[in-house]
Amino acid sequence: MKTVEQTGYDVITEDTQMKDDNRMIETITAARDALRGAQALLIGAGAGFGVDSGLPDFRGSEGFWEAYPPYKNLGLDFTSLANPRFFKTDPAVAWGFYGHRQALYRDTMPHAGFTMLREFGESLSRGSFVFTSNVDGQFKKAGFSADSIVECHGTIHHLQCSAPCTDDIWPATFSPRVNEKTMRAEGSLPQCPRCGSVARPNILMFGDRGWIDLRSDAQEERLDRWISSVARARARLVIMEFGAGKTIPSVRVKSEELQSALGATLIRINPRESDGPEGTLSLPMRSLEACKALFTNT
């Protein structure tokens, strides 16, 4: 038999859960209403968006080491490895890390949420644009136009010189072989065609002063032109942000900036960090779950 204290606690817990469920239903309803009235869509995506495709988000050192156990034995975490210095001091380590990820991204199929977003964006009078900190190329793979994607941290599918001797950026057509026991690249490594130095992915890394940002800058210029056209038309903009955390807040900052500047509706989808400025529709859900809730019979 339960004590009075236990019974009271259960009632409070059930009541709290009911309030949370009602709040979620209300937020989903408000988000669906906003999407029905949308004329333009900006999709913001952080690492959490790829989790439903089976990609790791490397949340914290333990999460990274769970995905890559050999690095735990070496005492190397994500922040340590995502550093351009290894392309100079130990290129086999650098390309072991990035080569394995490159192969993983090439082999991964985007989850169904990508298609839902692409088709919804194509149905709008002002279309859609993607702003992502992900370097995996999944949006292009899912059929989004390359001209409507901003990869603000670059992409693993393009290379640059590690020196760098030039501002050239070129497609990554070659992947080194990686020993999964040592996580070191074996055999030939990509090279700069101009000077012969080891090539590196065109990705913004930690402590990176050599990243060539011309490709990402051109993408941002296209986004700016699209935003200007949306603003001139006074079109109703909805921002859907998925899996973008606070640790590296590039996507969150862009979403909030446009929410404020254009009076857009921000729908922030994140299992752990869905909070936002006043007016934000916060959904503490996974990305694919949220897409199904919002686009099924929208």
Convert the pLDDT of each residue in 172-181 to its tens digit. Answer: 998 899 998 8
Instruction: State residue 160 phi and psi, 5-degree precision.
Output: -150, 170
State how far the Cα of 254 lies from the Cα of 165, in Å rounded to an integer: 32
Mean pLDDT value across the chain: 92
Q: What pLDDT band is residue 75 in, cutting at 50, 70 and 90?
A: confident
* Residue 197 contacts residue 165 (beta carbons within 8 Å): yes
DSSP for 225-236 reads HHHHHHHHTT--
Q: What average pLDDT does range 173-198 have in this prediction?
A: 94
Q: Where do the structural domains in the chain lie, given as residue ranges?
A: 38-295
Strand ranges (DSSP E) for 244-287? 265-269, 281-283
State how far the Cα of 42 lies from the Cα of 117, in Å rounded to an integer: 10
- For residue 250, give Cα distances in angstroms to 64, 243, 295: 21, 12, 26
Tokens, residue 2: 């339960």
**Residue with the larger pLDDT of the pair 62 and 36:** 36
* The predicted structure's pLDDT at residue 283: 98
> Does the 38-295 domain belong in CATH 3.40.50.1220?
yes
Q: What average pLDDT does range 253-277 have in this prediction?
A: 97
State how far the Cα of 138 lies from the Cα of 156, in Å rounded to an integer: 11
